[in-house]
Amino acid sequence: MTEPTALYERYKDALRRGHVATQRGRLDEALGAYGEAARVAPDRALPHVGIGQVLIRLGKPNEANAAFGRALERAPDDEAALRGRADTLARLGDRIRAAETLDRLAAVVDAAGRRGEALDLVGGALDLAESRSRRAALQAMVDATDLDPALAATVTDALMRSRARLAGPVGPEPPAPPPPFDPAAAMAAVETAAAARDAGATLEAALSAAGGFRAGGQLHAALDVCYQALATNAADPALHITLAELYIDRGWRAVAADKLVLLSKLIDLTTDGGTRDRLCQVAARVPDDPRLEAICA
């Protein structure tokens, strides 16, 4: 067996093990198998799609979004990767980028001759983020379909749903999307504020940077900026809750639980209800710790 053939067989075997483990609910095992497939065939998108789908089931949308991004870097029109990214962005509350991803998916699906599915996808994007351009695109697709009676007959239900959307009230234009996250600028902002010993600016910059790094799957960088902020904000609850979230993302559940338990005592002293609510939201990701169950009961 030649080396390329042997590598391909290893790749197929790792993918098969990943699929089987996923079907049987052995998600950690599935991640390991898909990771092996990605290492054997680094140019293939499918292992990263599998990783993203498993991470969604594990409740890790930030890491799943990064995995789907890696898949799309390798195959920009991969339908499963586009669906996964749209789903994770919607879960993360990024409705504008989720809608843009559905637009891309609709174009791919329509080019494949599946007009009814494409109509529903553009309609779904419109539901996520109303815009004149998206409404116009859906209208143009409906008009083009109506002009072809044979095609319209095959997508009757999708056409009816699209017409109902177009006949409905026009919502407000969504706000302009924020500028893309700039890792270098975010890190520089934290370092500048920390060097000036400005506790408030350091905290604000660190929390903002941590969110950007986390969304991109750069958990090491997110932890680094939080640790920098600890020097001037050692008792800030928001910073410690963010660290707990990052620990859970990394799989350090016991460390995260210990931090949340200690933080709950600080919150008891400050009677900060809003902070306690957020703590309990994070604690729900560690459901098997009786200490946290008692705190958030």
pLDDT at 109 over 90: yes
> Residue 80 falls within a domain, yes or no?
no
d(CA 202, CA 192): 8
User: In the structure, what pLDDT confidence band is assigned to residue 119 with cuts at 50, 70 and 90?
Assistant: very high
> Residue 43 falls within a domain, yes or no?
yes
Please check whether residues 61 and 102 belong to one and the same domain. Answer: no
Q: CA 39, 98, 101: angle at the middle one, nearest 5? A: 65
Please check whether residues 46 and 102 belong to one and the same domain. Answer: no
Please check whether residues 209 and 288 belong to one and the same domain. Answer: yes
d(CA 101, CA 79): 10
CATH code of the domain containing 8: 1.25.40.10
Please check whether residues 209 and 129 belong to one and the same domain. Answer: no
The DSSP-derived string for 57-74 is HTT-HHHHHHHHHHHHHH
d(CA 216, CA 221): 10
Spatial neighbors of 120 by CB under 8 A, at least 6 apart, are: 158, 161, 162
Cα–Cα distance list, 187 to 39, 171, 197 (Å): 30, 37, 15
- In this predicted model, which residue has the larger pLDDT, 62 or 266? 62
Question: pLDDT tens-digit profile of 166-184?
Answer: 987 766 666 666 778 888 9
> Residue 115 falls within a domain, yes or no?
yes
Secondary structure of 179-225 as H, E, C letters: CCCCHHHHHHHHHHHHHCCCHHHHHHHHHHHHHHHHHCCCHHHHHHH
Structural domain boundaries enclosing 62: 1-75
Please check whether residues 143 and 167 belong to one and the same domain. Answer: yes
First to last CA, the chain: 60
The total of structural domains in the chain comes to: 3
Please check whether residues 202 and 288 belong to one and the same domain. Answer: yes
d(CA 167, CA 123): 12
